[in-house]
Amino acid sequence: MAAGRIITVRGLTSPRCLRPDHHGAPADHGTVASRYDEPDQPGLSPKPSPGDRIAVIWPSSGLPGLFPLPYELGLERLRKEYGLEPVEYPATRTMGSTPRERADDIHAAFADPGIKAVIASIGGDDQITVLPYLDRELVEANPKPFFGMSDNTNLLAFLRTCGIVGFHGGSVMCELGRPGAVHPQTAESLRAALFTSGTYELRPAGRWRDIDRDWAVPATFEAEPETRPGTGWAWVNPDRVIEGRTWAAAWRSSDGC
């Protein structure tokens, strides 16, 4: 879900968290239609195209260095399934990098005209410490879409104040590095967010996952994770149509914002 996009809701919804295995068939009691239109104003940039370069950064956690298996798998899928060329930065795989070092990577990614989008490797728990080091003028002068979830709520909030569209979801390790395969609905929605404009229907989770297997064990990635049936969305006043702007966030991080 993009920060600041227009969203039309038939019935006021309280959806479950849209995670990799929280996607499924549409519910029969309502729809959520999200619209992304290329804006003709400063601060917002066109989307990337297959063949473009995409920055892979670590704004929160250097887990790619600790768990390379889902990270490398996610990079491979960016190349083969989406046709994008990942570009890494000094702190991308570095555990214990400083907030300033991570901010430097963010600046490098946004300032490079050859980079058409930016995606986070994963979330974390201290991204808010990076924000004081960010150069607002540099970022505003070089707008490009950002993809990340969880603790990346902090960067999404910062980018929103810069007038830059961000998408809450699509991290390299969690979504693209999912064992077995990228979930079909995740793959579809990420492709739409990366490459297309216009209306996209957000559908409730058909299945949920409660337990993750060990990322350090190669056998983890030989099969898809176990899931259970989802229960759909809860709706209030389903006879109403509501339209407005949305801002997706992780609750713990948004509380800090």
Domain 6-256 fold:
Rossmann fold (3.40.50)
Span 49-58, mean pLDDT? Answer: 96
For residue 36, name the pLDDT band (cuts at 50, 70, 90): very low
Is 70 exceeded by the pLDDT of residue 255? no
Span 177-196, mean pLDDT? Answer: 92
Each residue of 65-82: b (16+ CB within 10 Å) or e?
Answer: bebbbbbebbbebbeeeb
Q: The pTM is what?
A: 0.80
Domain boundaries of the chain, sorted by first residue = 6-256
Which residues have CB under 8 Å from 19's CB, separation 6+? 174, 205, 208, 209
* CA gap 11, 31 in Å, rounded: 8
* CA gap 252, 257 in Å, rounded: 9
- Higher pLDDT: 61 or 21? It is 61
- The confidence score (pLDDT) of residue 31 equals 34
Asked if 247 and 4 count as a contact pair (C-beta separation under 8 A), the reply is yes
- The confidence score (pLDDT) of residue 33 equals 37
Which residues have CB under 8 Å from 71's CB, separation 6+? 63, 64, 93, 121, 172, 173, 177
Q: Which of 48-62, 66-80, 239-253 has the highest mean pLDDT?
A: 66-80
For residue 253, name the pLDDT band (cuts at 50, 70, 90): low
Q: Is the dihedral of CA 75, 77, 79, 83 positive or negative?
A: negative
